[in-house]
Structure 1
Amino acid sequence: MNVVPDLEAGRLAALSAALPDGILMTGAEDLSRYSRDWSGDHVGRPLAVARPRSVADVSRILALCHAHAIPVVPQGGLTGLVGAAVADPGGGELVVSLERLDRVRTVSPIDFAMVVEAGCILEEAKRQADAVDCLLPITFGAQGSCRIGGTVATNAGGFNVLRYGMTRDLVLGLEVVLSDGRVWNGLKMLRKDNRGYDLKQLFIGAEGTLGIVTAAALKLHPRPTQVETALVGLRSVEDVMALYARARRECSDLLTAFELILRGGIEIALAARPDFSEPLSEACPVYVLIEAAAGGRVDLKAILEDFLIDAGGLVVDGVVASSRAQGERLWLLREVMVEAQGRGGRYLRTDVSVPISTLAAFVDAALEALAARHPDALAVTYGHVGDGNVHLNVVPPVGMGPEAVEALFHAAEAVIFDVVDRFSGSISAEHGIGRVKRSAFLERIDPVSLDLATRVKQALDPTGIMSAGRILAPLAPIGYR
């Protein structure tokens, strides 16, 4: 969709006249770093970029955009994978970057809670929680770049969902600027508050389509004093699931991560890092990276070692890290695999979930279907076993042209999603919908759910200016043609 040049000029004039100096950026060089996400797969053309310094600034910006029907897209660290925070390529959308709202307002070790502004980097929030002997458990690869607002808006997952839940489970309250500029102050640190509708849940995972999150009250946990990490090799994904069921019972709530990696992923990491060697004495078809954490006087290492020894022959080989540094190196295997899987080029990312009990059968069926339809493509499979989330990615053959790559991605995604449907799963476990998965999402949503979602959108964003075209189809043309 392309925006009429005169309309863009009028919108820019209205913004420039009404906003204080230092808020609005319009120069091409200034806009470039706000025009694409970290993957480089999604590129947009912002009308301009607004960088508010306060909640009052955000309120003024949205009130102005509401009055002039200027489309808005909130932006955090640009680490998302579904194109939700990138401006429309056709132009016309004002990017509202939250990077200046970056304070940790308060940390309470007694409440085990903190209030953090939307632009704060996740890793910084985690550091400040750690400074008062607390843990903010949201953990994933982009934590050094992503921002709290985006983490909330996408309901981010990560490695620790098994024990602590998704971001949704850690949000106690929110501060949100609505599409008309009004500020909803729901920043509570209460653990129990049963006064009617839980309004904050509307904005968690909404990807900026209902309002802009400007701050969040987040739940903290006691900081673990012990962390134990193990890498084990097994014969099949079925054995992985049997081991997981035993781990949940024998390691109980001490288990924080249970990550599946197929052999191909280990080989990718080894090829990418010549300084890496085979992690176990025997190469295995599948691997599991296990982490447990505890405080107090629990002998965590003994619990994990005894569990693995008594694993009933499921474990072919394994190693328990002898130090925190060795544990971090085991995790580095997974991180390098994720970074290197595309061979330096584009690859199809999928992020699906199925009932945990069917995960092994799903992986077998999806890999079999991909091999039958696209035998030349490389399938890279890994995931978060404890929450049924599998990342089944597809790397094109070396030398394939751009048009053929696009066709492969489209066809391979359809194959994977078809298997997901057969297993009553979800096409998005933690990445969200954005623009990239909107069509697939709308093809699958039932009429009642679509009606309810549309009514919520219409109620909170009646002019359709907030992140138009993300999750749902645009409610109104708002100047496009």
Structure 2
Amino acid sequence: MNEFLQDCRDAIGSTFVLTDDLDVQSYETEWRQRFRGRCLAVLRPASTAEVASIVKLCRQYAVSIVPQGGNTGLVLGSVPDNSGKAIVLSLRRLNTIRAVDIANNTITVEAGCILAQVQQIADHNERLFPLSLASEGSCTIGGNLSSNAGGTAVLRYGNSRELCLGLEVVMANGEIWDGLKGLRKDNTGYDLRDLFIGAEGTLGIITAAVLKLHPKPKATQTAFLAMTSPEAALTLLNFSRDAFGPALTTFELISSICLDLVHQHFPAIPLPFPERVSYYVLLEISDHESEEHARAMMETVLERAMQEAIIVDAVIAESVAQSTHLWQLRENISMAQALEGKNIKHDISLPSSAIPEFMSVTRRELDQQFKDCRIVCFGHMGDGNLHYNISPPPDVSDVDFLVHQDEINCLIHDQVHQFKGSISAEHGIGMLKRSELIRYKSSIELEMMRSIKKALDPANLMNPGKIL
């Protein structure tokens, strides 16, 4: 492979071909430190043309490619396997904002742009790019699109697929597809763009994208609500949709154990209520009139919800600082779980209408087979996405509990399948869920996916071993 690496150095510069163990370690390691693969080298091109040159060299030498953005994925989709035969193609140096078109409400960015940077550019132009994730300070647009990232505002604005109008992609043969169109309507045959969004780099390498911008809201209002059950949360969701209409931006379900863990590990974050209840909802609206209008709307709707006994208590943020504290209760759940110890994570989606029954049935099944395990359930109930995580009972060690990981995964995913849900709502498949995909996808679905993969990447060089 020395000749291949030298050709890569000639193509993008020696400085950007990393082979030293210390230099490549962070690229080979999944961010939660659960897995480290091995790569032949890490290549860091600075342009689409350089990406195309590398892909052509990989094709010539039969070297497989693992595209990588911010490496914040959760399903081992952006790290290499243990073979040491693949290169990691880091796109972080492709970080140019190519164009901002305010009249068309679009922004054209390269794949290595950090999500928070795109949000800031939009804000500077009095626009909103609404994709919002906990990792937004380090994840990249290419990774967001490749995993079809969701986040907290899907209820109103949709996930990454809905926020993208056009793509630039380096294909498996090294050719560049320029699909950077800022069109809302383009009915000229197959929608090629959607093939690559959510494909986790297995069909081609996204190098740039045209993204939708939205008018910047004049005001937002945040509320933290207490209720007795998931059924009450579902009632509140439908009530809020009717009452707020398109102003409803966020609807996050949080079980009581989530708040307990956050309070235990982050005691400086104030709790919203003096007494514990079973479930909470973090609700946010965006308003295009004024702060006063948003506040009045929030107060009127929540007063009605209280009168109809849908909720038992409510806190409306009085300031930006208080809103931040309410969001911190939600955003620190995953970190609090990590500090508490190992847990078995599930990123699932269901019809919102099925969530209460799913939670009841699955709780009963878990109690029968894994007595006293703790269900740390939270997520984007407004779009049907739950993070349904299982922690061991307090008196059971992580090691003893994780022996049952495959059984617990099977139990939960079987229930998800029964309710016509998905085993991956927003994290993707990667290597982690590849075998489970086979269990739950129909044979015709898998065959169609394999046919697309074979047509676009016949040599199987693009992120092999991921998804399929």
Q: For this structure pair, what is the TM-score category when the shorter chain's length is used for normalisation?
A: over 0.9
- Equivalent-residue separation in structure 2 for 1:446 and 1:240 (angstroms): 33
Select the residue among 316, 325, 328 that pairs with 2:312.
316
**Alpha-carbon distance change, 223 to 468 in structure 1, aligned in 2, over 3 angstroms:** same
- Equivalent-residue separation in structure 2 for 1:181 and 1:404 (angstroms): 48
Select the residue among 247, 253, 267 that pairs with 2:260.
267
Partner in structure 1 of residue 54 of structure 2: 61
Partner in structure 2 of residue 4 of structure 1: none
Partner in structure 2 of residue 78 of structure 1: 71
**What is the SS of the residue equivalent to 1:74?**
strand
Partner in structure 2 of residue 468 of structure 1: 464
1:331 matched to 2:327? The reply is yes
The farther-off stretch of 185-194 and 56-65 is: 185-194
Amino acid at match of 1:86: V
CA contact (8 A) 2:342 2:398 kept: no
- Equivalent-residue separation in structure 2 for 1:345 and 1:90 (angstroms): 30
Amino acid at match of 2:299: E
CA contact (8 A) 1:396 1:408 kept: no
CA contact (8 A) 2:66 2:89 kept: yes
Partner in structure 2 of residue 304 of structure 1: 298
Per-residue CA shift, 1:180-208, capped at 9, x if unaligned?
11000000111221111111110000000
- Equivalent-residue separation in structure 1 for 2:19 and 2:423 (angstroms): 37
CA contact (8 A) 1:272 1:336 kept: no
Partner in structure 1 of residue 345 of structure 2: 349
- Equivalent-residue separation in structure 2 for 1:99 and 1:15 (angstroms): 17
Select the residue among 214, 217, 229 that pairs with 1:224.
217
Partner in structure 1 of residue 105 of structure 2: 112
Per-residue CA shift, 1:36-95, capped at 9, x if unaligned?
122112321111000001111100000110111101000011111000001112221100
Select the residue among 382, 393, 410 that pairs with 1:386.
382
**What is the SS of the residue equivalent to 1:79?**
coil
1:365 matched to 2:361? The reply is yes
**What is the SS of the residue equivalent to 2:77?**
coil
Partner in structure 2 of residue 478 of structure 1: none
- Give the drift of 1:13: 5.5
1:39 matched to 2:32? The reply is yes
Partner in structure 2 of residue 415 of structure 1: 411
- Give the drift of 1:144: 0.5
CA contact (8 A) 2:377 2:387 kept: yes
Per-residue CA shift, 1:418-468, capped at 9, x if unaligned?
111111111001111111001001111112111111111011101000010
- Give the drift of 1:274: 2.0
Per-residue CA shift, 1:352-381, capped at 9, x if unaligned?
011111111111122222222222432200
**Alpha-carbon distance change, 206 to 270 in structure 1, aligned in 2, over 3 angstroms:** same
TM-score, normalization: structure 2? 0.96
- Equivalent-residue separation in structure 2 for 1:120 and 1:463 (angstroms): 29
Amino acid at match of 2:32: S
Per-residue CA shift, 1:225-276, capped at 9, x if unaligned?
1000000100100010001101001100000000000010010111112223
Select the residue among 14, 26, 37 that pairs with 1:21.
14
Partner in structure 2 of residue 438 of structure 1: 434
Partner in structure 2 of residue 101 of structure 1: 94
**What is the SS of the residue equivalent to 1:33?**
helix
- Equivalent-residue separation in structure 1 for 2:64 and 2:440 (angstroms): 27
1:176 matched to 2:169? The reply is yes
CA contact (8 A) 2:133 2:152 kept: yes
Partner in structure 2 of residue 452 of structure 1: 448
- Give the drift of 1:20: 3.3
- Equivalent-residue separation in structure 2 for 1:236 and 1:469 (angstroms): 41
The farther-off stretch of 280-289 and 290-299 is: 290-299
Percent identity (aligned): 41
Q: Give runs of ≥4 in structure 1 deviating > 3 Å.
A: 8-20, 396-406
Count of matched residue positions in the alignment of Structure 1 and Structure 2:
465
**What is the SS of the residue equivalent to 2:45?**
coil
**Alpha-carbon distance change, 19 to 116 in structure 1, aligned in 2, over 3 angstroms:** closer
- Equivalent-residue separation in structure 1 for 2:254 and 2:346 (angstroms): 15
Select the residue among 319, 336, 340 that pairs with 2:336.
340
Amino acid at match of 1:120: C
Partner in structure 2 of residue 247 of structure 1: 240
**What is the SS of the residue equivalent to 1:265?**
helix
**What is the SS of the residue equivalent to 2:286?**
strand
CA contact (8 A) 1:209 1:470 kept: yes
Partner in structure 1 of residue 425 of structure 2: 429
TM-score, normalization: structure 1? 0.93
**Alpha-carbon distance change, 404 to 19 in structure 1, aligned in 2, over 3 angstroms:** same
- Give the drift of 1:300: 1.2
- Equivalent-residue separation in structure 1 for 2:312 and 2:174 (angstroms): 59
**Alpha-carbon distance change, 402 to 340 in structure 1, aligned in 2, over 3 angstroms:** closer
CA contact (8 A) 2:261 2:340 kept: no
Amino acid at match of 1:377: C
- Equivalent-residue separation in structure 2 for 1:190 and 1:322 (angstroms): 40
**Alpha-carbon distance change, 403 to 272 in structure 1, aligned in 2, over 3 angstroms:** closer
- Equivalent-residue separation in structure 2 for 1:402 and 1:310 (angstroms): 45
CA contact (8 A) 2:4 2:57 kept: no
- Give the drift of 1:411: 1.7
Partner in structure 2 of residue 404 of structure 1: 400
The farther-off stretch of 303-312 and 199-208 is: 303-312
The farther-off stretch of 409-418 and 172-181 is: 409-418
- Give the drift of 1:344: 5.0
Partner in structure 2 of residue 161 of structure 1: 154
Identify unmatched segments of 5+ residues in structure 1. Answer: 1-7, 473-481
Partner in structure 2 of residue 203 of structure 1: 196
- Equivalent-residue separation in structure 2 for 1:93 and 1:189 (angstroms): 34
Per-residue CA shift, 1:390-426, capped at 9, x if unaligned?
1111223568667534422222111111111111111
Identify unmatched segments of 5+ residues in structure 2. Answer: none
- Equivalent-residue separation in structure 1 for 2:235 and 2:179 (angstroms): 43
Amino acid at match of 1:299: H
Amino acid at match of 1:108: D
- Give the drift of 1:345: 3.6
Partner in structure 2 of residue 147 of structure 1: 140
Partner in structure 2 of residue 479 of structure 1: none
